[in-house]
Structure 1
Amino acid sequence: MGTFLNDDWKKDRIASANHGENPMVIAKMKRGFAVIGDTQFLPGYCVLLPLVKVNTLNDLGYMQRSEYLLDMSLIGDAIQEVCNPIKVNYSIYGNTDNFLHAHIFPRYEWELEEKKTKPDWLYSSDNWTDNKYQYTDVKHLEIKEKLSKKLHQLMKDVY
């Protein structure tokens, strides 16, 4: 799984998660799938995909929105516990990938001062594309498994 032979799951990350074919899934949650980020230049970076493809948060009913945002915050709690960042940033855009998904970024003391106060997206494009930062089981499976275990514990307490 470290180097994926077949990346077809990336064509529709939500459908592949629903079919058990998305290797990045950490946990199925109440309103979405917690997945480890494709890039790990900020270790523990995760994404929350919805269970059903919608364009924006506003396309969900009020209860579904509440559950989605709670799921998002639980991923942040798991990252906080496992990765011990100084804070966790949350963002929902949908500009590049035109479907609802939330980014959950840990932020660390070791980051350069000029980066700490800026959005994660302002990191060099190399951080998003360089192979040394791409998820592999060899480098990142341990953190993925720890996040999964913690997230499942949190969900038991909340749901």
Structure 2
Amino acid sequence: MSWKNDRIGAAHRGENPMVLARMKSGFAVIGDTQFLEGYCVLLPYEEVNTLNDLPFQQRSDYLLDMSLIGDAIQAVCQPRRINYSIYGNTDAFLHAHIFPRYDWEPEERKPYPVWQYSPDMWRNSQYQYRDETHLELKGKLIKQLQKVMTGAYE
């Protein structure tokens, strides 16, 4: 089984190469696609259907961790803003998308969700995560996540 077929299980087993950090509520992972450099996802430790299925404290931890990933992206990538999304329509389990948004994006894209980018942006091999291209970015995000978690969890 490929790690992509069970991302959470693979993260627990140390087999998910996209993991940046083990956080209080789940795993911070770098996104499969990087056309918006720094895109990350927060995977919970256990697969649940929605945020509302978590007890209150776990919900709070999850939302805090989302924002900490945003802090790390902000520090490393310097976007104009961070967008946070939880859908679960395609992959029907809780996971949060954390997207940096940039000044260099086309004006017609800036006011809209990233999902309205062309499907080619999501699938084109030139935008897919590759160690050769993105390993330095991954290392910076790991280092910054450790820093923000230390400050937040004290």
What TM-score do the two structures reach when normalised by structure 1? Answer: 0.95
Q: 2:10 aligns with which of 2, 7, 16?
A: 16
Corresponding residue SS for 1:116:
coil
Matched AA of 1:117? P
What TM-score do the two structures reach when normalised by structure 2? Answer: 0.98
In the alignment, which residue of structure 2 is the partner of 1:4? Answer: none
Matched AA of 2:134? H
The answer to whether 1:109 aligns with 2:100 is no
Corresponding residue SS for 2:99:
strand
Alignment of 1:9-158 (within 5 A): 9-158=3-152
| Structure 2 residue ranges without an equivalent (≥5) | none
- The size of the alignment, in residue pairs, is 153
**Cα deviation per residue 1:62-109 (whole Å; 9 max; x = unaligned)?**
000000000000000000000000000000000000110000000000
Matched AA of 1:18? H
Q: Does 7-16 or 112-121 show the bigger shift?
A: 7-16
Shift of the alpha carbon at 1:158? 1.1
Corresponding residue SS for 1:103:
strand
Corresponding residue SS for 1:115:
coil
Matched AA of 1:154? V
